[in-house]
Amino acid sequence: MANESAVFFSRLLTEFTLTFHIIYATIGVGIPLMIMIAQWLGIKKNDEHYILLARRLARGYVITVAVGVVTGTAFGLQLSLLWPNFMEVAGNVIALPLFMETFAFFFEAIFLGIYLYTWDRFENQKKHFLLLIPVAIGSSISAVFITMVNAFMNSPQGFDIVDGELTNVQPILAMLTPAMPTKVGHVLVTAYMTAAFILAAIAAFKMLKGSKHIYHKKSLFLFMKLGLVFSIATAIIGDFSAKYLTEYQPEKLAAAEWHFETEKGVDLVLFGVLDEGTQEINYEIRIPKFLSFLAKSDFNGEVTGLNDFPKDETPPLYIHYLFDFMVSVGMLMIVLSLVYVWGKIKGWGFIHKKWFSWLIVAGGPLTFLAIEAGWWLAEVGRQPWILVKYMKVSEAATTSDHVGLMAALFGVLYIILGIGSVIILRRMFKNNPVEKELEERHNEDGEHK
């Protein structure tokens, strides 16, 4: 009964929407925290540069939040349009976090509106700062709730199926799945990390382009410090994720690691090229026994191989490349930010050299690509399931024709929105550089006095 082209295009359209939405959603979760920290530093140190940083961030944030909100809304409704059978189950079992997410979103939307339109309205800047707390909490909590839904898809629980009927539904249990803690933790810290590194990249870029202003130096140092903290947290939670996978979704781990035979003391395979027919790996780097250690915290632990699973229940093997890319970027960013922060304290000269600055500039987009790679890995890694062990993707999709046409339309839409938002953001900051804005503020102050 499943309409194969409808399944294919439903998957494609969902991938388009999420891939595009994730860029803005990650910014949406990460930036409010950065604005909050900047404004707090500004108040505490009585330093107008940090206040200005918060204000400029907030202004740019509006553009990204607009695109994030509309694409998020699109995705929310697309779930029912493209995956009606999944949403029927979701409505019965996992509606609670979906519902709570809209509350968090509402809360954030209201306070963001107030925050943006009350600059300088309060005598006491601390009052204005207080408005940011619900914005930051709202955006992070909505990520928490929506990630809970995704975690449920990976390790469904909180219901029973008796003769094809759903019974014994426990909404709270469905939220607190085994996949939930690592997923939620990883999503949050990577969003903060990405926001920090993209802002560091912008500051480094401004300095490379010749701006000598102390504002950019302060901004760069602040965001490299924050990036360091969050990238280390990312690595730690990433390690917990590997242990979760070993326990609950071993086929995802095995496919990501190209680990075929169940054995003890398994090597970790980095990079390489696979010959799928013979299961032979070439040009790889092997770290002896390290996969066993990652999965089981024991160099001689036994890890289940891919050949122990039914062939029609294993994900595609290309997810290994996604995994490698994600981890490599993560490691690179830890090293890069560590060297920068340490070098800044010790007064090393080379961190101010052009080539090092270019590395920081490259770090911003690379972190974004790592976010995408991570999501593709997580999502493709549970193929062929939409609800692991319960419902396959092909059973969940719409049977309507015309999904292909819709995928094309949305593809065009996302390209237009993507280009539009970049143009607007560039124009916004190019026409109003920091130097100009600071000068205007001083002139205004002069008039008052």
Partner 1 sequence: MNIEILGISVLWIFLFGYILVGSIDFGAGFFNAHGIMTGKQHILSKVIQRYLSPVWEVTNVFFVFFFVGIIGFFPKTAVYFGQPMLIPGSIILILLCIRGSYYAFESYSSRGHKGYASIYGITGLLMPAALSIVLTISEGGFVNIVEGQPLLDYKALFTSPLTWSVVLLSMSACLYISATFLTWYANKAQDFAARNLLRKYALIWAVPLVISVIGITVELKSHNLEHYNRMLDLWYVWAVSALMFAGTIYFLIKQTKFGLAMGLVIGQFILAFFAYGISHYPYLMYPHLTIYDSFTNQTMAITLVVTFILGLFLLVPAMWLILKLFVFNNDYAKGKEDHHA
From residue 185, alpha-carbon distances to 141, 247, 287 in Å are 11, 18, 27
Between residues 55 and 186, which has the closer beta carbon with respect to partner 1? Answer: 55
Residue 350 is which amino acid? Answer: F
Structure tokens at 164: 């094809």
Q: Please state the closest distance from residue 422 (CB atom) to partner 1, in A.
A: 11
Q: Please state the closest distance from residue 270 (CB atom) to partner 1, in A.
A: 40
Q: Please state the closest distance from residue 394 (CB atom) to partner 1, in A.
A: 15
- The long-range contacts involving 213-217, CB below 8 angstroms and separated by at least 24 positions, are 213/434, 213/435, 214/49, 215/49, 215/52, 215/53, 215/434, 215/438, 216/434
Q: Please state the closest distance from residue 197 (CB atom) to partner 1, in A.
A: 23
Give dist(CA 226, CA 337) in Å, integer: 9
Between residues 123 and 312, which has the closer beta carbon with respect to partner 1? Answer: 123
Q: Please state the closest distance from residue 24 (CB atom) to partner 1, in A.
A: 10
Q: Please state the closest distance from residue 51 (CB atom) to partner 1, in A.
A: 11
Between residues 169 and 270, which has the closer beta carbon with respect to partner 1? Answer: 169
Q: Please state the closest distance from residue 221 (CB atom) to partner 1, in A.
A: 24
Between residues 52 and 380, which has the closer beta carbon with respect to partner 1? Answer: 52
DSSP state of 330: H
Between residues 112 and 306, which has the closer beta carbon with respect to partner 1? Answer: 112
Taking a C-beta distance cutoff of 8 angstroms, is the pair 233, 189 a contact?
yes
Between residues 115 and 356, which has the closer beta carbon with respect to partner 1? Answer: 115
Cα dihedral sign, 295-301-304-305: positive
Structure tokens at 151: 């975690």
CA dihedral 97, 174, 294, 256 (to 10 degrees): -80
Between residues 95 and 270, which has the closer beta carbon with respect to partner 1? Answer: 95
201-234 burial by CB neighbour count: b if 16+ within 10 A, else e? bbbbbbbeeeeeeebbbbbbebbbbbbbebbbbb
Between residues 114 and 229, which has the closer beta carbon with respect to partner 1? Answer: 114
Residue matched to tokens 């029609």: 312
Helix axes 48-82, 403-430, angle to 10 degrees: 170
Q: Please state the closest distance from residue 320 (CB atom) to partner 1, in A.
A: 34
